[in-house]
Amino acid sequence: MDLKLYLKQLNDYVVWQQQEINRLQATMDQLSADVQTLKEKPSITVERLEYKFDQLKVETLEGTLNIGLNPADLNNIDDFSAVPSMRNEKSSEEDQQMKTELLEKLNQYVDQQLDTIIHNSESQIGIQLEESYFNLIKEDIRKQLPTRAEHYLHFFSTRTNEEITKEQLFEKMYQTIVADINNGVHTFIAQMPRNRKEG
């Protein structure tokens, strides 16, 4: 091999290597500068968030007695009849029959037991309502019963174990709504403005 040619090739290779080293060095310098910039940026720290619900204060109480949910929640409940159901039409008919029976039993409860519940709440709270409030409370509850029955029928039928009997499901819904009624009556009476409690 010609010595001149060999030296020329060697020189070309060394020149190419030096160009590569220079290019890699420039890339390294750029990366180092980027890392330094990132280090100098202030870090973002999220402090612990605390909510102090005990500091909330209610000045006035107005509105209607709500059993279980408030009116805004009731408006946001989906129209369950529009939801596609996995169950057959027979189940739907059974649900409707159960809802009808549930409403009958709940209305009987309102007729026969609600006066006692109101009197018990009056005794516990230490006040006495005007008689006119009894009918207002009853009517308010009656208006809400169909929505509550629909809500719990959907809620329990989609979340309850398959092995539960219809009778057990019915009783579970009934007892839940009765508890809602009792709690709602007690809360309503306890939070009424003082000037409305005394006749």
Model confidence at 88, in pLDDT bands (50, 70, 90)? very low
Asked, for residue 6, whether it belongs to a domain, the answer is no
pLDDT digits (tens, 9 = 90+) for 111-121: 999 889 888 88
145 touches 103 (CB < 8 A):
yes
Which helix (H) or strand (E) segment holds residue 136: the answer is helix 131-159
141 touches 61 (CB < 8 A):
no
Asked, for residue 37, whether it belongs to a domain, the answer is no
Query: What letter would DSSP give residue 63?
Result: S
Asked, for residue 7, whether it belongs to a domain, the answer is no
Asked, for residue 185, whether it belongs to a domain, the answer is yes
pLDDT digits (tens, 9 = 90+) for 161-185: 667 788 888 898 899 999 999 988 8
Asked, for residue 170, whether it belongs to a domain, the answer is yes
Token pair for 25: 């060095």
The residue ranking higher by pLDDT, 55 or 42, is: 42
Burial class (CB in 10 A: 0-12, 13-18, 19+), 194: exposed
Provide the residue range defining the domain that includes 155: 63-197
117 touches 182 (CB < 8 A):
yes
Asked, for residue 139, whether it belongs to a domain, the answer is yes
Q: How many domains does the chain have?
A: 1
Asked, for residue 85, whether it belongs to a domain, the answer is yes
Q: Which residues contact 91 (CB under 8 A, 6 or more apart)?
A: 85
In angstroms, the CA 117 to CA 127 distance is: 14
The reported pLDDT for the residue numbered 163 is: 72
Provide the whole-model pTM: 0.53
Asked, for residue 2, whether it belongs to a domain, the answer is no
For residue 198, count other CB atoms closer than 10 A to its CB: 9
